[in-house]
Amino acid sequence: MEISLENNMYLELVKNAQSVNDLEQVRVKLLGKKGEISNLLRSLGRMEAKERQIKSPQYNNLKQSLEEAIKEKKEILLNKEIEGRMDAEWLDISQDPREMNSGLIHPVSRVTEEIISIFSDLGFSVAEGPQIESDWYNFDSLNIPPDHPARQEFDTFYIDPGDESIRENVSPNVLRTHTSPVQVRFMEKHGAPCKIIAPGRVYRSDYDLTHTPMFHQIEGLAIGEDISMSNLKWVLVEFCKAFFELDSIDLRFRASHFPFTEPSAEVDIRCSWVENSLVVGKGDDWMEILGSGMVHPNVLEAAKVDSKKFQGFAFGMGIDRLAMLKYGMPDLRSFFDNDIRWLKHYGFAAEKSSNLYDKLSG
């Protein structure tokens, strides 16, 4: 076979390879162990010396030029593949993240954060308790015995213990109706004196514009040897000024009754309606925001605290109610509808912390 180096079909094969893979197949076909060029080189051994003298340099030159051509082509194909990937896997890292859809903080989370930062500043620490609570902590320990009428007022969700035989011997578990059980749990574990708040979910069977079956409360408890009602008043006034971001605020302490406090007071805040929205701080209306009082000695004793030595105040307020007041949200039910339009309207950007928080921690 005559081989012309300029125009040979082998070089043509190399030139036409479309991918690194193609090219590798051509290389095996020509230069592999059983490849065509290798066969040619092997055939030299079977030739007459004279013929071999002519063919040997030709075949070796052919082999060498093919090797070079393959190497060159491989580089070209590799570059092409990298360029292709760069085009396909393009990512614009200069895109402004603020233009993308980002999550927002729910007003309840935001307001809880605000309340915690104000009370931390006043020296309170945060405690928690379970949402599924025993009858004892939710009622009995708080001076509400089984036949007490207050049990009916709470619209309690009871948890079915299952089997009839179990039901008769076991006192029922409930979804806690308020955060007050955390008072007893905390004092039982840590004793007195103490100064805590306890935010969390509570449950009552109720549903209208201002009530949902699940809502949020924050409990406050301060126990010491000489803590009085006037300390309670000061703490609540300072809290409301900081929370509503007002220099002065009017609170009305209205005598009330809770089994777990004596005396008890409900607290209203001065406000007024302006064009269908509630303005806090001025006007002739009053809005109830919390229940409070001096912790009943029976509650201290139930939590194994000496009621002859210690006394103090407690309060419980609705977080959702405070959020509605501060940010002008008219319907509590929409808080828990998970409607993205509502969340976009009332939610808070995650990267901006509350300016209240900045003020207190700055």
Residues that bind ligand PHE (CB under 6 A): 178, 180, 258, 261, 291-293, 314-316
Comparing CB distances to ligand PHE, the nearer of 267 and 278 is 267
CB of 301 to ligand PHE, least distance (A): 17
Comparing CB distances to ligand PHE, the nearer of 67 and 262 is 262
CB of 177 to ligand PHE, least distance (A): 7
Size (the chain), residues? 362
CB of 190 to ligand PHE, least distance (A): 18
CB of 289 to ligand PHE, least distance (A): 11
Residue whose CB is nearest to ligand PHE in the complex, by number: 316
Comparing CB distances to ligand PHE, the nearer of 107 and 293 is 293
CB of 303 to ligand PHE, least distance (A): 14
Comparing CB distances to ligand PHE, the nearer of 27 and 129 is 129
Comparing CB distances to ligand PHE, the nearer of 111 and 299 is 299
CB of 283 to ligand PHE, least distance (A): 25
Comparing CB distances to ligand PHE, the nearer of 17 and 324 is 324
